[in-house]
Amino acid sequence: MESLERILQEHSFVKDLSNEHVKLIVGCAKNVVFEPEKYFFKEDQEASEFYIIRSGKVALEIYTPEYGPITIQTLGEGDVLGWSWLIPPYLWRFDARAVELTRAIALDGKCLRGKCEQDPKLGYELMKSLTNVFEQRLYAMRLQLLDIYNLRSTN
Q: Based on CB atoms, which residue is closest to other proteins, 48 or 132?
A: 132
Interaction pattern, residues 32-71, with other proteins; x per rule: CB under 8 A: -------------------------x-x-------xxxxx
Q: Is 118 in the site for other proteins (CB under 8 A)?
A: no
Closest Cα to residue 61, out of 92, 87, 97?
Answer: 97
How many residues sit close enough to other proteins to count as binding (CB under 8 A)? 27
Find the part of the chain contacting other proteins (CB under 8 A) among 18-26, 38-46, 88-96, 141-149.
Answer: 141-149
Main-chain phi, psi angles of 109, to 5 degrees: -65, -45
Q: Based on CB atoms, which residue is closest to other proteins, 48 or 71?
A: 71
Cα angle 8, 14, 19 (rounded to 5 degrees) comes to: 80
Separation of alpha carbons 101 and 67, rounded Å? 25
Closest Cα to residue 108, out of 31, 43, 20?
Answer: 31
Interaction pattern, residues 69-108, with other proteins; x per rule: CB under 8 A: xxxxxx-xxxx-------------------x---------
Q: Based on CB atoms, which residue is closest to other proteins, 88 or 148?
A: 148
State the nearest-atom distance from the C-beta of 104 to other proteins, in Å: 14
Q: Based on CB atoms, which residue is closest to other proteins, 36 or 120?
A: 36
Separation of alpha carbons 64 and 134, rounded Å? 25
Tell me the C-alpha to C-alpha distance, in Å, between residue 44 and each of 48, 62, 81, 84, 94.
Answer: 12, 12, 16, 10, 8
CB 69 within 8 A of CB 61: yes
**Contact positions toward other proteins, by CB under 8 A?**
57, 59, 67-74, 76-79, 99, 140, 143-144, 146-153, 155
